Chains A and B, each alone.
Chain A
Amino acid sequence: MRRVGRVFRLPGGGIAHASGLLRLLALVVLLLFAHGCATEPKLAQLMQVGPEAAANRALQTRRFSEVSEAELLAACVSVLQDLGFRITASEARLGVVTGDKPRSDADMLADVGRLSLLAGITMGLHPELSKGFADSFGVVLATRGVGGGARVHETRATFYRGYVGGYGGRHAVLITSPVLYQRFFGMVDTTLARTRSGN
C-alpha cells in the first residue's frame, strides 16, 4: 500500500496524514483570503431610508394623550420588565430606552430541532439555514412630544430578533409583525390606565 505523506499522532490518540493537514491548512488560508476579498455590502444603501420605512414607522408608533413623557417612558419600561427584558441603556432627556431579552430555552430547542430536520431533508441547502436560529430579542424605544402640548406624546418601539449560528455569525433582523406592536402598545395602554387609577 502506498503511503502519502508523514503520519502524525494526534493528542486524542488518532492519526492524521501530513497531506490531510496541509489540505486543511490550505482551506483555512483560502477562507481567510476569500473573506478579505469578499465584496462589502453597499454601505451607502444601508444608510438610505427604504420604501418600507414609512409603513414600519406607522406600525411602530402609537400616540398617547393625557400623559407626560416621563409617565409614558416609565409605563414602557414597566411593560418591558413584565416581558422579561433587561434595560441596557436609557436617556430620559432624549426619551430613549433600549433593552434585550434571551429567548426561552424551549423555543430555541424547538428551533434547533426544526432547523436540523430542514438541514437533513434539504442536505443543508435551504436558505433559512444561512440565518442560524434566533436566540434573543432587542428593543429600542423613543418617545417625543406631539403638537407642542405637554400632555400628548408618542412612543416608537422597534423590536429585533437576534440570530446566532448561521453562515455569517451574529446578526439582527427587524420584526415587522403588526400583531406584536399592537399587543405591546395595548400593554402600555393598560399600564398607563392602571397608573392613573393608582394601582
Chain B
Amino acid sequence: MNRNSAILILAALACIPALSSCASSPESGVLSSPESQLKLRSIQSRAYDTTDRLMVLRGVVATLQDLEFMIEAADAALGLVTARKLLLPRDTLLGSNLMLTVTVRPRGEKQMLVRLNAEFNRRAVEDPEVYQSFFVALGRTLFMSGHEVD
C-alpha cells in the first residue's frame, strides 16, 4: 500500500463519524405528519346520518367489494376495515398497489363518521377526488341497504 492510498483510507474513515451524525435516526418519521394534515383529514372524512355502526361497516365492505378491493382485515369492535387493490400495470412501469384503511366511529348522538386513508405505492393519496368518489359510492350502498334494493 503506498502513501497516497493510506491517506485516502484515513480520510474515508474520518468521514464515517461525520456522516453517521448527519443521518436521521430510524424512528424519526414515526410521529411526523404532513403540514396539510388538518386539511387532509377533512377530505378523508364524511359523516352519515345513522347511529348503526355495524350497518355502516357492512356498507364499507360491500362498497369495497363493488370497487374490486380485497379485504385484508376487519374488526367490528374497532370499527376498522383495511383493503388492498393490486393493479394490472397499464400506465405505470412497475406494479402498483392501492391500500385503504377505513374507520367508522360515532360522531355526536346521531351520526357516524367514516374516515378513509388511501395509499398508492406506499404514499398517501392527497387527491380529494379519490375520497369523494369513495364516499359517493358508500353513500349509494348505504342508501340501497336502507331501502333493500337488490
Contact = CB atoms under 8 A, between A and B. Distances in A.
A41 B87 contact: yes
Interface residues of A, number: 48
Interface residues of B, number: 47
Which one of B73, B77, B145 has the greatest number of beta carbons of chain A within 10 Å?
A: B73
B61 A47 contact: no
Interface in B40-88: 54, 57-58, 61-63, 65-68, 70-77, 81, 85-88
A28 to B, nearest CB: 13
A78 to B, nearest CB: 20
B35 interface: no
Given A46-B85, A49-B137, A98 B92 contact: no
B76 A93 contact: yes
A96 B61 contact: yes
State the majority secondary structure of interface residues on A: mixed
A140 B129 contact: no
A40 B120 contact: yes
Interface of B: 54, 57-58, 61-63, 65-68, 70-77, 81, 85-96, 98, 118, 120, 125, 127, 129-134, 136-137, 140, 145, 148
Question: What 10 pairs across the A-B complex have the smallest Cβ distances?
Answer: A168-B89, A169-B95, A93-B76, A47-B133, A44-B129, A91-B74, A171-B86, A172-B86, A168-B95, A47-B134
Given A57-B66, A168-B95, 9 more contacts: A38-B91, A41-B90, A41-B92, A44-B132, A46-B130, A94-B61, A96-B71, A98-B72, A168-B89
